[in-house]
């Protein structure tokens, strides 16, 4: 494994970063594009939004006045992290889809203050975020060890190192809602496999609410979410030599009241054919045709309990922000 000079000069014993993406991620993108863009209703999975530019756009989304989930989840963490640290006694935090770990610091502060914090294990597909966050956190928390895992949490959870002691596996931001119901339960079952009897899953989920509030959160006035949505086309242009013009597509965000999820789509402004050169794949769009790029499920307590139960987990704490917009749940393996 290669370490950068910067990493070695900082604190080599404090940081370890393993990458499990070499080559396989490109193949997964190619498979997803071949599968998703040849369907009668075109679709791409949302994990491909997050190259370095997509990650930056996501960070800007988190600051938008319309995008309440980040602020609401942070408010819960600020109110309840101390209790979470004490109740779990966790010595380490594994975080799936960690991104820039902005809110995570609230939890790490509480674990640090409780005197238990030893190790942080961020898991993310975006290499730069795992590496940057490892360097930042080891300097912010003296004595903390960071073992970064650059990988896909749908495929690489076996590379999460064995626990040093009781641990919290955090899955924040509502990312579980980006999976449709069947895959959601599969992903949750895989995550439950990381938990021993002393461990906890801490998961963020956005809650069902007024569709106008939801749609505004995914279609902001400044157009940042629109740019984030179109970014997936730039990823395809770069990684698979496609020739999409992102300006050929309008951003669409709508709440599906039956499924209780937001859908983001890209709607072709005109009829055209684009070619994904690495796949030798022409892709035709009719004028007005839509490509689904993300679902973002909104939860009720019942739906969440059902999903956790199906993954062999039981609820220990249900925490919401003062406005009841977002939920953070703590769960554990069911006692058999
Ligand atoms: N947890 C952060 C970031 C959420 S954005 C927050 O709450 O603000 C979603 C994050 O998950 C991004 O950093 C993205 O790169 C990562 N991600 C999405 N799908 C992934 C996958 N299949 N495997 C690993 N990381 C993934
Ligand atoms: C990461 N995920 C939970 C975000 C969400 O709200 O579904 C991604 C996002 N899409 C548009 N805005 C934010």
Residue 198 has pLDDT above 90, yes or no: yes
Distances (CA, A) of 228 to 42, 60, 232, 275: 18, 10, 7, 22
pLDDT of residue 9: 47
- Does the CB atom of residue 294 touch ligand 2 within 6 A? yes
How many CB atoms lie under 10 A from the CB of residue 66? 17
Q: Which one of the ligands is nearest to 153 CA? A: 1
Distance 286 CA to ligand 1 centre (A): 32
pLDDT of residue 157: 97
pLDDT of residue 104: 98
Residue 32 has pLDDT above 60, yes or no: yes
- In the structure, which protein residues have their CB atom closer than 6 angstroms to any atom of ligand 1? 47, 50, 55, 58, 62, 70, 97-99, 103, 124-126, 129, 152-154, 172-173, 175
Return the HEC string of 288-333. CCEEEEEEEECECHHHHHHHHHHCCEEEEEEEECCCCCEEEEEEEE
- Does the CB atom of residue 70 touch ligand 2 within 6 A? no
pTM of the model: 0.95
pLDDT of residue 227: 98
pLDDT of residue 24: 65
Q: Which one of the ligands is nearest to 46 CA? A: 1
Separation of alpha carbons 300 and 136, rounded Å: 36
pLDDT of residue 26: 62
Question: In what helix (H) or strand (E) does residue 252 lie, and over which residues does it extend?
Answer: strand 249-256
Question: Per residue in 74-122, pLDDT tens?
Answer: 999 999 999 999 999 999 999 999 999 999 999 999 999 999 999 999 9
- pLDDT: is 13 or 74 the higher one? 74
Which of 55, 99, 179, 218 is the pocket-test mutation for ligand 2 (most atoms within 8 Å of CB)? 218
State the burial class of residue 81 (Cβ atoms within 10 Å of its Cβ: 0-12, 13-18, 19+). buried
Q: What average pLDDT does the segment 311-328 reach?
A: 97
Separation of alpha carbons 125 and 97, rounded Å: 7
Atom 20 of ligand 1, nearest CA residue: 47
pLDDT band at 23 (very low <50, low <70, confident <90, very high): low
Residue 180 has pLDDT above 60, yes or no: yes
Q: Which one of the ligands is nearest to 133 CA? A: 1
pLDDT of residue 7: 43
pLDDT of residue 28: 86
Atom 12 of ligand 2, nearest CA residue: 218
**CB contact at 8 A, 329 and 168:** no
Question: Per residue in 220-253, pLDDT tens?
Answer: 999 999 999 999 999 999 999 999 999 999 999 9
Percent of the chain having pLDDT more than 90?
Answer: 93
Atom 6 of ligand 2, nearest CA residue: 296
Question: Per residue in 162-175, pLDDT tens?
Answer: 999 999 999 999 99
Distance 82 CA to ligand 1 centre (A): 25
pLDDT of residue 25: 63
- Does the CB atom of residue 126 touch ligand 2 within 6 A? no
**C-alpha closest to that of 184 among 275, 100, 304, 87:** 304
Atom 8 of ligand 1, nearest CA residue: 173
Distance 23 CA to ligand 1 centre (A): 20
- pLDDT: is 6 or 46 the higher one? 46
pLDDT of residue 109: 98
For residue 34 the two structure tokens come to 């071949």
Atom 18 of ligand 1, nearest CA residue: 47
Average pLDDT, the chain: 95
pLDDT of residue 21: 87
Q: What average pLDDT does the segment 135-161 reach?
A: 96
pLDDT band at 336 (very low <50, low <70, confident <90, very high): confident
pLDDT of residue 2: 42
Separation of alpha carbons 262 and 253, rounded Å: 7
Distance 225 CA to ligand 2 centre (A): 9
């Amino acid at each position: 494994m290669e370490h950068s000079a910067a990493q070695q000069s900082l604190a080599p014993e404090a940081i370890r970063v393993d990458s499990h993406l070499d080559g396989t991620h490109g193949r997964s993108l190619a498979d997803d594009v071949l599968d998703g863009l040849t369907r009668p209703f075109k679709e791409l999975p949302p994990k491909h939004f997050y190259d370095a530019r997509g990650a930056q756009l996501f960070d800007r989304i988190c600051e938008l006045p319309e995008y309440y989930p980040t602020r609401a989840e942070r408010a819960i963490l600020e109110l309840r992290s101390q209790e979470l640290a004490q109740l779990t006694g966790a010595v380490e935090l594994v975080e799936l889809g960690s991104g820039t770990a902005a809110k995570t610091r609230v939890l790490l502060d509480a674990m640090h203050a409780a005197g238990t914090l030893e190790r942080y294990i961020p898991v993310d597909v975006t290499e730069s975020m795992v590496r940057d966050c490892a360097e930042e956190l080891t300097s912010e928390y003296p004595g903390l060890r960071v073992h970064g895992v650059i990988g896909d949490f749908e495929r690489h959870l076996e590379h999460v190192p064995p626990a040093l002691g009781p641990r919290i596996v955090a899955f924040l931001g509502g990312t579980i809602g980006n999976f449709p119901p069947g895959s959601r339960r599969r992903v949750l079952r895989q995550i439950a496999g990381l938990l021993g009897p002393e461990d906890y899953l801490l998961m963020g989920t956005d809650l069902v609410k007024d569709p106008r509030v939801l749609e505004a959160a995914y279609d902001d006035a400044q157009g940042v979410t629109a740019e984030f949505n179109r970014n997936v086309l730039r990823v395809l242009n770069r990684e698979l030599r496609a020739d999409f013009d992102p300006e050929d597509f309008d951003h669409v965000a709508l709440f599906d009241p039956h499924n209780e999820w937001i859908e983001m789509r890209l709607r072709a402004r005109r009829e055209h054919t684009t070619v994904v050169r690495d796949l030798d794949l022409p892709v035709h769009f009719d004028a007005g045709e839509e490509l689904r790029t993300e679902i973002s499920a909104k939860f009720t307590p019942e739906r969440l309990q059902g999903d956790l139960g199906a993954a062999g987990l039981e609820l220990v704490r249900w925490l919401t922000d003062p406005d009841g917009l977002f939920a953070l749940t703590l769960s554990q393996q069911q006692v058999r």
